[in-house]
């Protein structure tokens, strides 16, 4: 939101702008990069987890928490209340989903149940993917709502959101979903590798018996 304005942004507008930038970077840049790293690299190397985790937690978490805290603070200073309108409720939902996703990711990668699922993906692995997709869909909607609806309502419309910010939102959404869609083409390769892994496990068990 750094277009040419007739007057400088007010302090609360600057704070709201910083909130928007941080949350956009966290949810529309860092988390998508982490997801794409996993989607594209997992069929070519076994060392994909560290960069995936680094983007999803080490890089994204401080940015997301800082952006969310600024949003909470801005709502309070503007006297808007908390978790009342659509933008506030979506923001809370996104934070909860992100925390759930971190928990699921930890469970998927660090708590294995080989005797129960015998080389197959456990249910929480599929849930991890589903929650991730839900986060990206909701984050795109949330950012759009903030740019087009929440900003003029919360700030009184003194300054409009520049077209560059709206174009950036569209570009980030289109690029991510385009790359994610292309990455889905690697699913057959991934499933084949998982099938081969299960076959090796069965062969090893037969030899042990």
Domains and CATH numbers, the chain: 11-208 (1.20.120.1770)
Position 4 scores a pLDDT of 45
pLDDT of residue 208 exceeding 90: no
Q: Out of 61-75, 137-151, 182-196, which region has the weakest mean confidence (pLDDT)?
A: 182-196
| Nearest-angstrom CA–CA distance, 132 and 161 | 28
| Nearest-angstrom CA–CA distance, 200 and 193 | 11
C-alpha distances in angstroms, 62 versus 26, 46, 66?
9, 27, 6
| CA contacts within 13 A on the Cβ side of 157 | 3
Backbone phi, psi, residue 75, to 5°: -60, -40
Summarize the confidence of residues 127-140 as an average pLDDT: 97
pLDDT tens per residue, range 86-102: 999 999 999 999 999 99
Position 209 scores a pLDDT of 57
Threshold 0.75, pTM exceeds: yes
Position 190 scores a pLDDT of 79
pLDDT tier for residue 1 given thresholds of 50, 70 and 90: very low
Residue 14 · residue 157 · CB < 8 Å: no
C-alpha distances in angstroms, 152 versus 21, 34, 69, 85, 155?
16, 32, 20, 14, 5
Residue 21 · residue 164 · CB < 8 Å: no
Per the model's pLDDT, the better-predicted residue between 45 and 111 turns out to be: 45
Per the model's pLDDT, the better-predicted residue between 5 and 186 turns out to be: 186
Summarize the confidence of residues 67-82 as an average pLDDT: 94
């Amino acid at each position: 939101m750094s277009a040419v304005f007739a007057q400088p942004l007010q302090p609360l507008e600057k704070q709201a702008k910083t909130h928007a930038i941080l949350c956009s970077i966290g949810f529309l840049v860092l988390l998508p990069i982490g997801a794409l790293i996993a989607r594209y690299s997992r069929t070519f190397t076994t060392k994909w987890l560290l960069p995936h985790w680094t983007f999803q937690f080490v890089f994204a978490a401080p940015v997301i928490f800082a952006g969310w805290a600024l949003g909470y603070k801005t709502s309070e200073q503007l006297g808007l209340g908390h978790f009342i309108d659509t933008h506030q409720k979506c923001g809370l939902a996104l934070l909860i989903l992100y925390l759930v996703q971190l928990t699921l990711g930890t469970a998927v990668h660090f708590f294995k149940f080989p005797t129960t699922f015998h080389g197959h993906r456990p249910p929480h692995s599929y849930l991890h993917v589903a929650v991730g997709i839900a986060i990206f869909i909701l984050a795109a909607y949330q950012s759009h709502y903030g740019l087009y609806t929440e900003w003029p309502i919360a700030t009184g419309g003194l300054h409009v959101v520049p077209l560059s910010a709206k174009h950036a939102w569209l570009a980030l959404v289109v690029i991510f979903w385009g790359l994610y869609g292309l990455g889905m083409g690697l699913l057959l390769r991934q499933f084949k590798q998982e099938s081969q892994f299960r076959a090796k496990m069965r062969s090893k068990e037969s030899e042990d018996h």
